[in-house]
Amino acid sequence: MKESTFEGVGGLKIFTRSWQPEGKARGVVVIVPGFNSHSGQYLWVGEQFAVKDLAAYAIDLRGRGRSEGERYYVEKMEDYTDDVATLIRTAKSENPGLPVFLLGHSAGGVVSCVYTLDHQSEIDGLICEGFAYDLPVPDIVLSFIKGLSYITKHTHVFPLKNEVFSRDPLVVDSMNNDPLIQGESQPVQTSKVMIDAASRLNEEFPLIKLPVLILHGTEDKVTNPSGSQFFYDTTGSTDKTLKLYEGHYHDLLNDVDKEVVMADINDWIDARVPAIQTKSVAL
């Protein structure tokens, strides 16, 4: 695993982690974490991809993890997606000619979908996990948050409880003791950016044409599985797969039975990127 930074929008240093297989890579996966999350929570995931001969890259979105920026704040969605675009260009330059898959978790799934709409030719497939498109929040609250953004952008209004992310007590304990997400809550402007993005996706899902894998836990209390179902139903892709995991919580790759989810992702990629064939040597 390698740690790196690059200069993001506005000159901020954006922190990333990457993993390379021991041998030749056959593809690339770029990971975009969501809220209450950062690239450090994807160490096991990155290693699993590397074992499958896939190079993996994970970003700390601006203001999150070890990236610079006002904590948890983003002014506009393009700041997120432009940073993701920079990481994808880096991944491509380090792995020329290989197919690239974008994996977004939760709010990172929203960022990944918006990136896909604007840069569809740059990637070969989209994976959305615990997609934060449909939130269990009344419309009147969402309208209030959008209105508040015109008055006080930086006020923090939207916390998430770590215990709803995973059924694994060790994961929850790790999150509770992670200084990079300690006391995390979302500013009004960040919330507005995500709400506006969801409105755009509602209209433009049919424009997404590339292969799509959508994953959601049925007991997700952070985001509604119905949002993933709607994405599946309305996407313009003819190569689309929806998997719902009975009883699973929000963060599927850090939940109990994460191995099952990881295997499904790898199987989906395997069906689109053949394994590297090793030549046998006659003695």
Cα 132 to the center of its chain, rounded Å: 10
Task: Calculate mean pLDDT across residues 186-200.
Answer: 92
CATH 3.40.50.1820 fits 2-270, yes or no: yes
Lowest average pLDDT, out of 83-87, 156-160, 170-174, 182-186, goes to 156-160
Give the domain ranges of the chain: 2-270
Pairing of strands 212-217, 2-7: unpaired
Question: Which has more confidence, 199 or 149?
Answer: 199
Pairing of strands 27-32, 100-105: parallel
Neighbours of 222 (CB within 10 A): 21
Residue 15, pLDDT score: 98
Element (H, E) at 94: helix 77-94
Going by pLDDT thresholds of 50, 70 and 90, the confidence category of residue 155 is confident
Going by pLDDT thresholds of 50, 70 and 90, the confidence category of residue 156 is confident
Helix (H, G, I), strand (E, B) or coil at 164: helix
Q: Cβ contacts of residue 222 below 8 Å, gap of 6+?
A: 106, 130, 132, 135, 136, 160, 164, 165, 250
Going by pLDDT thresholds of 50, 70 and 90, the confidence category of residue 274 is confident
Report the alpha-carbon distance of residue 10 to residue 53 in Å, rounded. Answer: 35
Residue 145, pLDDT score: 62
